[in-house]
Amino acid sequence: MLENNLKFLEETFKQYYFDHFDLIRVPDRSTEREYGYKKFNSGMSRHISLKTDKDLHLLLMTNLPSDVFCSNGYYSFPNLPMTEKDWKEADLIFDIDAKDLNLPCRKDHTCIKCTSCGEVSLLQDVCPKCKSNKLDRLSLPCQNCISGVKKEVLNLVKILTTDLRIDDKNIRISFSGNEGFHLHVTNSSYNQLGSKERGDLIDYIMFRRAIPERFGFKKNNPSRSSFPDLDDPGWSGRVAKDLFGSKSKRSKGITKIISDGYPVYRQRLEEMGKNSIGVKIDPNVTVDIHRIFRLEGSLNSKSGLAKLACENIEKFNPYTEACLIGDEPVEISANSPIEFRLKNRGFGPYTNEKISVPKYAAAYMLCKGIANLA
Amino acid sequence: MISLGQDEIAKYPFLAEAGQYLNDKGFTLEQFATDPDLKIIVDKAYERIESAAEGKIYNLKTDNSSDKDIILPLNVFSFLIAIVLLKLSGLNTLINRFSLAEARRAEKFLERDLVSDSNKTSEEFAIKIFRDVFSITIKKAGDYFVIPISDYLQHAVNFHELEWKLVNRHVENGMVFLTPHESARLIRKELGGYIGTKIRAANTPPMSKGFEDKVHKLSNLAKKFVVDTVVSTEIPPCIEHAIEALNKGENLSHSGRFMLATFLLGRGQTVDEIAPLFKNAPDYNEKITRYQIKQVAGETGGNRTKYACPSCEKIKSNDLCFATPDCDNIINPMQFGKKRL
Ligand code: SF4
Ligand SMILES: [Zn+2]
Ligand SMILES: [Zn+2]
């Protein structure tokens, strides 16, 4: 990142933190957590322990981080190296990101940035300017993707509160600061589980590795009555809904499944997990019991938006509510082939133009790498 | 500790305090070593270890009576003396095998006790074992037992069959539904671990003349099972799991064996080094095993292809992957532990 861009972002982030100390707090049991942070243009510092909100604010003011993280794990000695930390338990965490949904609209709001010459252009295989194929993909705001992610989040919450019987009160949903949502489950009976056990929980939530026998199809003599029914609890009910649609179509559906045979049904279950009823969480996040996870209230350096808790996810609009940087005008030269909206205001498209935009939009485009300070 | 009746102690002899039990019955260890009338018990104890070593579940055979008053104590004594013999021999392989076999024997009783129409006290006792020994609260729900998901997962992850995965279970309201058979099966490994720990923690009595001959026979018995391949450097969880399964004499699927062999060949081990790992497999046949490894190594067979270790994805699809954070997005187990830039 260019020196003056970097200075600008550091200053902007610092200003945000200074103005929003109320939003950025240490979580419960802070002394048992590990903290970490990244700076623009440099690597990760971790194994940090913080006691109070004040300690955290001091860290933000003195280190000018680009991203701040806090462990889902609880340790006796959070600031020692991993092997000596003495792990006690870890909150169950989830990340649902628009890129994992891979919706058809994605190509319309993704552009490429050439890592050789820096050209930004619409999605294509090689750089139109220098023909290099070393390209970074950048995704810009999309309400459709956000709606898709919200739907997944609600499906996940449903499974957590019914099948897994996690108390609503213990689930915290937040916007990730870029294009996804995080779920944080505290105080549940699942906190003690290790990675292996969480791996099995992940397969459950994503509906992976389901076998036909469990869903009614005995290899040799399938019996009609053992197929799932729409009001069965858990996966049986959800599978039945997806397979049959309605109670009246169940009987016909079963006849078809049996005549198609076992391997077809097996395949079908697998595809249902991938394409319909499985919840698209990022398994690498949930399996990790030593993760340092983005801290609520902090800014995401991929966008300059804040990771923010949402009380009512259905109504939450991240591109206005999590856009918390100020709006004084900033001169930039921007290069965005795609139009996007922040704070109900449209920006772009720009082709190497010098423009004056509010600070939040300048920070957004600098973070995305599609603008430079003028 | 659980209080035990005569019946229960015969089914679950590992719950008894050995010294206390002998005392209560008015015996000393010395008597078993010397009294010719008690020699039959020492013989039974040896048989009990021998059948365990062969992977069988011990079934007490008596010549004449089916008299409860004889059979029940004989069951307990043979167990206790078996432990004495094992301690004197100091042979870990046999202790492991014995613990596993005893666990499976107990599992059968547990299952029977949990089945609904068996008598109420037995059922309560079985539930108590779950709670007091393994800290699992199981509750009856119709023909099923229900157990909290988090408890279930901690035990079920030890199984590699797909049917044990949570997604293939009836789950409702934070609970997993299990049949009596499945409930008992769920804790087999822990039961084995529990018995093994108790045996290891027991005091080793001084050697008596009367036990020498049996202890000597045990070390011959154990020789059949010694595996002395040492696998060094960092091993990914999938491979570790496969080796562990084989060492315990559990069955490993064909794809599991293929993965293990190709991995070790890839790490530069030879057929001679690898073959002994399979020694404890229930269907071990040295010739066939060596031939199969050679084939994988491309040292024999028609096309002489040397096979490479399958990808993590392939291993996952065979349900043999036990990824930990250390696997960190590698795509082949061969990359495990190698620093990537
Ligand atoms: S991720 Fe790869 S190396 Fe790790 S356990 Fe799974 S298959 Fe083995
Ligand atoms: Zn270029
Ligand atoms: Zn979209």
Measure the CA–CA gap between B136 and B130, rounded to whole angstroms. Answer: 5
The strands making up A329-336's β-sheet, listed across from edge to edge, are A350-358, A329-336, A371-373
B105 shares a domain with B33? yes
Number of other CB atoms surrounding residue B182 within 10 Å = 19
B145 within domain boundaries: no
B105 shares a domain with B39? yes
Question: Of all helices (H) and strands (E), which one includes residue B286?
Answer: helix B286-297
Please give the mean pLDDT across all residues of chain B.
Answer: 84
DSSP-assigned beta bridge partners for residue A214:
none
B234 shares a domain with B214? no
B158 within domain boundaries: no
What's the pLDDT score for residue B67?
64
Task: Please choose from B238, B264, B331 the residue to mutate so as to test ligand 1's pocket, defined by most ligand atoms within 8 A of CB.
Answer: B238
Instruction: Judge whether A134 and A116 are in contact, CB under 8 Å.
Output: yes
Length of chain A measured in residues: 374
B105 shares a domain with B36? yes
B116 shares a domain with B261? no
Number of domains in chain B: 2
pLDDT at A280 over 80: yes
Measure the CA–CA gap between B334 and B180, rounded to whole angstroms. Answer: 41
Query: φ, ψ for residue B81 (rounded to 5)?
Result: -70, -35
pLDDT at B292 over 50: yes
B154 within domain boundaries: no
What's the pLDDT score for residue B58?
79
B127 shares a domain with B71? yes
Q: Could you tell me the pTM of the whole model?
A: 0.78
B175 within domain boundaries: no
Terminal CA-to-CA distance of chain A, rounded, Å?
A: 14
**B245: containing domain:** 227-335
Report whether residue B27 contacts ligand 1, using a CB cutoff of 6 Å. Answer: no
DSSP-assigned beta bridge partners for residue A329:
A358
Measure the CA–CA gap between A39 and A10, rounded to whole angstroms. Answer: 9
B288 shares a domain with B198? no
* Amino acid at site B272: D
> Would you say the C-alpha torsion A262, A100, B331, A197 has a positive or negative sign?
negative
What's the pLDDT score for residue B66?
60
ipTM of the complex: 0.93
B167 within domain boundaries: no
Query: In a 3-state reduction of DSSP, which class is residue A333?
Result: strand
Measure the CA–CA gap between B123 and B183, rounded to whole angstroms. Answer: 12
B261 within domain boundaries: yes
Measure the CA–CA gap between B165 and B188, rounded to whole angstroms. Answer: 17
Instruction: Judge whether B189 and B59 are in contact, CB under 8 Å.
Output: no
Report whether residue B260 contacts ligand 1, using a CB cutoff of 6 Å. Answer: no
Q: How confident is the model over A288-305, as a mean pLDDT?
A: 96
Instruction: Judge whether A14 and A60 are in contact, CB under 8 Å.
Output: yes
Cis peptide before A212 (omega within 30 of 0): no
Domain-ending residue, one of B173, B196, B218: B218
What's the pLDDT score for residue A359?
98
User: B302 vs A320, which has greater pLDDT?
Assistant: A320
Q: How confident is the model over A224-239, as a mean pLDDT?
A: 95
Distances (CA, A) of A364 to A301, A342, B60, B265: 9, 9, 77, 51
Q: How far is A189 from chain B (nearest CA, A)?
A: 6
Are the beta carbons of A204 and B174 separated by less than 8 Å? no
B196 shares a domain with B294? no
Lowest mean pLDDT among A8-17, A110-119, B28-37: B28-37
Instruction: Judge whether B85 and B214 are in contact, CB under 8 Å.
Output: yes
pLDDT at B9 over 90: no
B124 within domain boundaries: yes
Is A53 marked active-site? no
* Amino acid at site A164: L
Selected residue of A235, A270, A277 to mutate for chain B interface (largest B Cβ count, 10 A):
A235
Residue percentage of chain B with pLDDT more than 90: 23
B250 shares a domain with B104? no
Q: Return the structure tokens found at B63.
A: 């010549």
Distances (CA, A) of B40 to A129, B43, B62: 92, 5, 10
Is A95 marked active-site? yes
B58 shares a domain with B16? yes
pLDDT at A5 over 70: yes
Are the beta carbons of A189 and B150 separated by less than 8 Å? yes
Residue of B150, B171, B174 with shortest CB distance to A192? B150
pLDDT at B63 over 60: no
Lowest mean pLDDT among A230-244, A353-367, B107-121: B107-121
B272 shares a domain with B213? no
Q: How confident is the model over B23-28, as a mean pLDDT?
A: 85
DSSP secondary structure code for residue A276 in this structure: I
Give B232's pLDDT tier (boundaries 50, 70, 90).
Answer: very low
User: A292 vs B220, which has greater pLDDT?
Assistant: A292
What's the pLDDT score for residue B230?
43
Give B209's pLDDT tier (boundaries 50, 70, 90).
Answer: confident
Terminal CA-to-CA distance of chain B, rounded, Å?
A: 54
Domains delineated in chain A: 3-100+142-203+282-373 (3.90.920.10), 208-275 (no CATH)
Measure the CA–CA gap between A201 and A180, rounded to whole angstroms. Answer: 21
Measure the CA–CA gap between A298 and A141, rounded to whole angstroms. Answer: 19
Measure the CA–CA gap between A166 and A174, rounded to whole angstroms. Answer: 17
Report whether residue B255 contacts ligand 1, using a CB cutoff of 6 Å. Answer: no
B196 shares a domain with B103? yes
Residues of chain A neighbouring B341 (CB-CB closer than 8 A): none
Q: How confident is the model over A334-344, as a mean pLDDT?
A: 95
Domain-ending residue, one of B171, B200, B218: B218
Q: How confident is the model over A97-116, as a mean pLDDT?
A: 94
Give B269's pLDDT tier (boundaries 50, 70, 90).
Answer: confident
B160 within domain boundaries: no
Report whether residue B323 contacts ligand 1, using a CB cutoff of 6 Å. Answer: yes
Measure the CA–CA gap between A216 and A226, rounded to whole angstroms. Answer: 5
